[in-house]
Chains A and B, each alone.
Chain A
Amino acid sequence: MSDKRLRIGFIPLCDAAASIVAVDKGFAAAEGLDVELVREVSWSNMRDKLNIGLFHAAHMIAPIAIASSLGLGHVKVPIVAPFVLGVNGNAITVSPALYASIAAMAEGNIVNPMVSACALARVVASRKAKGQEPLTFGMTFPFSTHNCQLRFWMAAGGVDSDEDVRLVVLPPPYMVESLANKHVDGFCVGAPWNSVAVDLGIGFMLHFVSEIIGRVAEKVLAFRSRWAQDHPDALSKLVRAHARAAVFIDDVAKRDEVVAMLAPANRIGVSPEVVRRALDGRMKVAPDGATRVDENYLLVGRNGSGRPDPAQAAWLYAQMVRWGQAPLTKEMCDAAKAVFRSDLYDAALGPVQKTVLGEPADGIGAFAGPPFDPRDITGHLSAWRIGRVPVA
């Protein structure tokens, strides 16, 4: 019966919602599973505890699952992701000073990421000319969507994220403090931390990542491949519990109840109001109270987003190659795609709606560059002027 006593690690973020609701609303219990949620403090811990079997499943940044499977940066442990806990959900927040500089240099409306990226390039150039320190941006982990999204946006405006600015890893709970005491000028992080910074009056949410790339698999429910093979039944049950939780979370009529479940100190640990903004996609973006609405701010299961799409894994792998984190080989690309197990999702949920509603034509929807074709990573990479693609 070791099948049934399961431990899931989670980091206190809004996109852990499906796991929290699956357990706390009893969807996991309804599948006959006894699940314990364990709050974790770092992605490195999460990865290691999943690897050695202390956790049966983990709330994990999609690129970490891929990096672990490819043996990048750490021990090679094959991971499978049969459920996507969240699509999008991050935002780029900058200090009031940087916001003002970008706004002053902008030719057009800075809600447009191309306008803001080009303005950032001018800010960077002007600082360089004056001999000022390069701008510093925080992100959550070397192998992360945050890293990809931040770099993708900057590079489109001509900012080289390795040469022109400094990117530093910061644990999400330290982001706000680091922005307040000017250790960083901006950051890319998930909900609720951007809202916390805005509410404190120390940050402006410049972009939702959904404005930069329409659809990026953010967090996955990750399992060790070995464990998944040995416990297909428990895995299916867990996927079903999460899928039901996702439907519940997406139901606006249940929003109060969901928010009340997510906000407590032993779960995400922020005010219900802040959690609610992320789920509603109605974000307060400036300290003066200005809000911006994006129904794609964070997708938890909506429009088929819970089903892993291997093309998403290919895109994330391509970004790792672009920034010099991974070599470009067909084997690695295939291994990356194989992490996203739509087959396990389908096996757990039976015949499912596979057409994804309202998704970008290429499944990715980046604001710059040609459409993404998962069969042509080389083509994707050759489209960029800035990047660290290793020379073959």
Chain B
Amino acid sequence: MDPSFKIVIVDENPVRAAILEEGLREAGHVHVVRIGEMAHLLARIYAIDPDVILIDLENPSRDVLEQMFQVSRAVKRPVAMFVDQSDSASIEAAVDAGVSAYIVGGLRKERVQNILDLCISRFNAFARLQEELDRTRSALEERKVIDRAKGILMKAKNLTEETAYALLRKTAMNENKKIAEVAQSVITAAELFK
């Protein structure tokens, strides 16, 4: 890998951008700049004059980068998307991971392949982390809902905590629902009866 490449990461998500930057630095790239603020994006990029631009696909500003393909005085060097016709596996993997790469100045594709590969794996790793976090968060939310429903049942029907939970679970099984859904109905009903 050529450590002299100047790489710009355009990503509004600072955590993901940091993960990617760290990966690039570990791979020996010293010139990595992160842009997290989208105003005047093109002007910033032109000022940095990078060889490779990486952008996340959730970012509407990706369309701004497409302007670099146009012939104009502002564009000093030719820009290409990383992929070409022969490369549908690469574009699929990148889109799947949620990242896109633009190459400035006619760098040979092979020289940038490992940057994109690294990008894809870091983006995928971030997505897995995010998923785990979301799962944990929603499990926590569900736990709270179930606890509240248990409390309502214990008070209203004079049940122990254990039997209240058993009742929720049985109802969920009978109605083919998640326990958290039944718990939510209990809370809603209780609020209506207030």
Pair A162/B63 contact, Cβ less than 8 Å: no
Asked if B181 is at the interface of the complex by the 8 Å CB criterion, the answer is no
B140 CB to closest chain A CB (Å) equals 25
Give the interface centre of B57, B70, B72, B92 by most chain A CB atoms within 10 Å.
B70
If the complex has contacts A41-B58, A54-B95, A183-B39, are A74 and B63 also in contact, measured as CB distance less than 8 A?
no
B100 touches A75 (CB 8 A): no
Is A173's CB within 8 Å of the partner chain B? Answer: yes
CA distance A52 to B40 in the complex (A): 30
Q: A171: CB under 8 A from chain B?
A: yes
Which residue of chain A has its CB nearest to the CB of B89? Answer: A52
**B91/A48 in contact, CB under 8 A:** yes
Chain B hits for A54, CB < 8 A: 95
A170 at the B interface (CB under 8 A): yes
Contact A73 B66 (CB under 8 A): yes
Residues of chain B within 8 A (CB-CB) of A45 are: 57, 62, 95
**Which residues of chain B are near A135, meaning CB under 8 Å?**
none
Asked if B125 is an interface residue, CB under 8 A from chain A, the answer is no
CB-based contact B69/A74 at 8 Å: yes
Tell me which of B40, B60, B85, B100 contacts A48 (CB under 8 A): B100
Chain A contacts with B in 164-192, Cβ cutoff 8 A: 168-174, 178, 181, 183
Would you give the shortest CB distance from A143 to chain B, in whole angstroms? 8
**Residue A324 CB within 8 A of the other chain:** yes
Q: Check A325 for interface membership: any CB of B closer than 8 A.
A: yes
Is the C-beta of A231 less than 8 angstroms from some C-beta in chain B?
A: no
**Contact at B63–A43, with CB atoms within 8 Å?**
yes
Q: For the complex, is B42 an interface residue (Cβ under 8 Å from A)?
A: yes
Q: Min CB distance, A162 to chain B, in Å?
A: 7
B171 at the interface (CB under 8 A from A): no
Contact in complex: A75, B42 (CB < 8 Å): no
Question: A170–B81 Cα gap in the complex (Å)?
Answer: 19
Cβ-defined contact, A42 with B59, below 8 A: yes
Contact B66 A169 (CB under 8 A): yes
Q: What separation, in Å, do the CA atoms of A169 and B88 have in the docked complex?
A: 27
Give B96 Cβ to nearest chain A Cβ, in Å: 8
- Do B64 and A142 touch (CB < 8 A)? no
The answer, yes or no, to whether A277 is at the interface (CB within 8 Å) is no
Q: B91 and A169: CB pair below 8 A?
A: no
Question: From residue A182, how far is it (CB to closest CB) to chain B in Å?
Answer: 11
> Which residues in B have their C-beta under 8 angstroms from that of A226?
none
Residues in A with CB closer than 8 Å to B38 are 174
Are the C-beta atoms of A142 and B70 separated by less than 8 Å? yes
Closest A residue to B88 by beta carbon equals: A52
A140 within 8 A of B: yes
Contact A52-B92, Cβ < 8 Å, known A44-B100, A74-B69, A174-B38: yes
A99 within 8 Å of B (CB atoms): no
Q: Which residue of A lies closest to B80 (CB)?
A: A74
Question: Is the pair B69, A52 in contact by a Cβ cutoff of 8 Å?
Answer: no
Question: A380 at interface (Cβ–Cβ under 8 A)?
Answer: no
**Residue in A48, A49, A142, A162 whose CB lies within 8 Å of B67:** A142
Task: List A48-76 residues whose CB lies under 8 Å from chain B.
Answer: 48-49, 51-52, 54, 73-76
Residues of chain A within 8 A (CB-CB) of B70 are 73, 142, 325
User: From residue 71 to 96 of chain A, which have CB atoms closer than 8 A to chain B?
Assistant: 73-76
Contacts of A42 in B (CB 8 A): 57, 59-63
* Cβ contacts B24-53/A at 8 Å (1 or 0 each): 000000000000001110100000000000
CA distance A75 to B92 in the complex (A): 13
B64 touches A171 (CB 8 A): yes
- Is B84 in contact with chain A by the CB < 8 A criterion? yes
Are B60's CB and A173's CB within 8 A?
yes
CB contacts (< 8 Å) of B60 on chain A: these are: 41-42, 171-174
A1 to B132 Cα, complex, angstroms: 33
A75 and B66 contact, Cβ closer than 8 Å, known pairs A45-B57, A168-B42, A324-B71 = no
* Other contacts beyond A41-B59, A44-B100, A45-B62: 4, CB < 8 A: A52-B88, A168-B42, A168-B64, A174-B61
Listed by A's residue number, 15 A-B pairs whose Cβ atoms lie within 8 Å are A41-B57, A41-B62, A42-B60, A42-B61, A42-B62, A42-B63, A44-B62, A48-B100, A52-B91, A73-B70, A75-B81, A75-B91, A142-B70, A169-B66, A170-B63
